[in-house]
Amino acid sequence: MLDRRSFIGTSALGLAAALAPRMAFAKAATDRRFIFIIQRGAADGLHIVAPVGDPAFAGARGAFAQDFATAPKLDATFALHPALVGVNALYGQKQALFAHAVASPYRDRSHFDGQNVLETGGASAYQLRDGWLNRMLGLLSPGEAKAIAIATAVPMALRGPHEVASYAPSALPQASDDLLQRVSMLYAGDSQLHGLWSEALATRNLTGDLAADNGKTAAATGALAAKLLAPADGARIAMIETGGWDTHADQRGRLAAQLKGLDAMIGALQTGLGPVWADTMVLVATEFGRTVAVNGTGGTDHGTGACAMLLGGAVKGGRVIADWPGLGQGALYENRDLRATMALDGFIAGATAAHFGLSGGRAMAALFPGARGGKPVTGLA
């Protein structure tokens, strides 16, 4: 089926040129699901996937290193935080992959600018006005370009020209059908509210009695996302926001609790998606990493290089990919942070391209237009 855009493409560029995107669409027309879990607050990658084989690790991290004394080893260099029990099992099944020493192009240490770069895919903060996940919808076939934010409003990565719904469980009583109908009429002449309202009604029909669910815990959020993604006519792309990663103090206890929640969320996604998990890719990423040294209050401060994860049946997992820069003297970025040796942009573009059967170059250009000369990472799915 041709929509107007591909019809214009056919007449303007001729049949041969038109075939390429259509093939891309045809290949994209699968049951693939993609979920982006954003870790707001700068998650400490060194305390999640710890480079225990780095000779400088134990010295730099002091008591933090004790958390990895009996932690599962991922390979000769890295060990996984023991709270990530389910993720470790996925790693054993080759359904979890970690990329370490990664960073977006952002090199300062503001959470909010860093998150803006992570979500817009721009080369610097506030350079782009829409999000890379929204632009990705433009690369998918129209039937597949359905996305939902598990939140009351749409986060930056999903904002842009393509319409995106948002949903979070509500404890408010459902409004009567008659009122809903009259609101539809009331909003008919208001383009912004009409668009939002249409999305809200469509999502309401899909979720049925979801409002009864308790979405307060991480597992419930994962289960909710799975419910919205699992049906054949459900959303294909979802974004989940997580906070609480800004561990300036008491990091060991706080991070363990955070990771336990993340592990439960991923477990609930896997359970809820059932057979669809085989076609699913979950990306977990944060705006930047944290200082290598532990600060004076049992925590870490804003840093640079971080760790990202890919999870799901569609992932070629069971490995940690990193051009490891080391934690020794002189190896650190500005004498304090893990140096970034892999572009998060290229990692995300490579992962999503492989997942949806798009060309890496096309994904790179659309999602990260400012990354001149940036190469997508290949072989991730």
- Contact set with another protein (CB under 8 A): 40-41, 62, 108-113, 125, 149, 151-154, 156, 159, 165-168, 170-176, 178-180, 182-183, 185-190, 192-193, 196-200, 203-204, 243-244, 246, 248-250, 295-297, 299, 301-302, 334
Choice between 302 and 339, CB closer to another protein? 302
The answer to whether 296 and 329 are in contact (CB under 8 A) is no
DSSP class of 48: T
CB of 302 to another protein, least distance (A): 7
Maximal C-alpha separation, the chain? 69
Angular region, 56: left φ>0, alpha ψ -120 to 50, beta rest: alpha
Choice between 131 and 267, CB closer to another protein? 131
CA angle 359–287–214, rounded 5-degree value: 95
CB of 130 to another protein, least distance (A): 10
- Using alpha carbons, list the distances in angstroms from residue 25 to 161, 192, 288: 19, 29, 33
Choice between 174 and 378, CB closer to another protein? 174
CB of 379 to another protein, least distance (A): 36
Choice between 10 and 127, CB closer to another protein? 127
Rounded to whole angstroms, the Cα distance separating 224 from 148 reads 11
Which amino acid belongs to residue 76?
A
CB of 312 to another protein, least distance (A): 25
DSSP class of 71: P
The answer to whether 343 and 81 are in contact (CB under 8 A) is no
DSSP class of 29: -
- Using alpha carbons, list the distances in angstroms from residue 111 to 16, 149, 202, 252, 342: 46, 21, 34, 21, 20
CB of 200 to another protein, least distance (A): 4
CB of 230 to another protein, least distance (A): 19
CB of 115 to another protein, least distance (A): 9
Choice between 125 and 380, CB closer to another protein? 125
Q: Closest by alpha carbon to 168, among 223, 138, 211, 131?
A: 211
Choice between 14 and 243, CB closer to another protein? 243
Choice between 154 and 276, CB closer to another protein? 154
